[in-house]
Amino acid sequence: MVSAHNLVMHRPLVDRRCREKMNGHRSVVLWFTGLSGSGKSTLANAVSAYLHQHKVQTTVLDGDNVRFGLNSDLGFTHADRTENIRRVGEVAKLFLEAGMIVLTAFISPFHDDRVRARKLFDKADFLEIYCRCPLEVCEERDVKGSYKRARNGEIGNFTGIGSAYETPVSPDLIVDTDLTSLEESVASVLALLRQNGVIDAPPAIQLVP
């Protein structure tokens, strides 16, 4: 293991504040959490697309996509899920320093892992968004067929079936994705960004088809 005593933090000439000034907006991490099928990725990508239309720098870190590359060596044990979220938090921090609005869409089922991720950032730089949706609705959607496979015993430790989802205690925003339209959900996220001084008041919502 490399000793921290042998490392020196490099300070870039072009830092976060420089990039924020160039972009015309503050950088922040939006941490979307919720059950599979609750609409995390759909909402994160819709918010990203809207912001992109308005010249705001964003990137989306999606749970499945990250496991194709960076976290392809991880399984779904408790320890692997914890490491999955630890790595995502560190990557999100890099994008934050690059001056971007980072939208992460991960089940991140364990309370301690989400707390650990939040502690990587200053209070104003991390906004937790709970995509709340009843398990039965997520199962009805079953957009990936995962719930059916989990019920048939083909997937072990699946969140909501074989592994618990620990509900966020005090998220910065709760979006009831079974009760609100995508446009309404996007509007609530934009309002959160505006309230926290990340962006100015947005114009009317017109989502990319």
- CATH number of the structural domain spanning residue 81: 3.40.50.300
pLDDT tens digits, 105-141: 999 999 999 999 999 999 999 999 999 999 999 999 9
Please state whether 73 falls in left (phi above 0), alpha (psi between -120 and 50) or beta. alpha
What's the DSSP call for residue 172?
S
Residue 6 falls within a domain, yes or no?
no
- Give residue 13's pLDDT band: very low, low, confident or very high (50, 70, 90): confident
pLDDT above 90 for 11: no
Distance CA 88, CA 91 (A): 5
pLDDT above 60 for 203: no
204 against 101, higher pLDDT:
101
Residue 2 falls within a domain, yes or no?
no
Q: What percent of the chain has pLDDT over 90?
A: 80
Residue 7 falls within a domain, yes or no?
no
Strand extents, DSSP E, 25-184: 28-33, 58-62, 101-105, 126-132, 173-176
Per-residue model confidence (pLDDT) at position 96: 98
pLDDT tens digits, 65-83: 999 999 999 998 999 999 9
How many structural domains does the chain have? Answer: 1
Residue 28 falls within a domain, yes or no?
yes
pLDDT above 70 for 4: no
Distance CA 172, CA 32 (A): 10
Residue 139 falls within a domain, yes or no?
yes
What is the CA 53 to chain-centroid distance, rounded?
Answer: 20
Note down the domain range covering 160.
13-194
Residue 200 falls within a domain, yes or no?
no
pLDDT tens digits, 154-185: 988 899 898 899 999 999 999 999 999 999 99
Residue 1 falls within a domain, yes or no?
no
Positions marked catalytic: 108
Residue 131 falls within a domain, yes or no?
yes
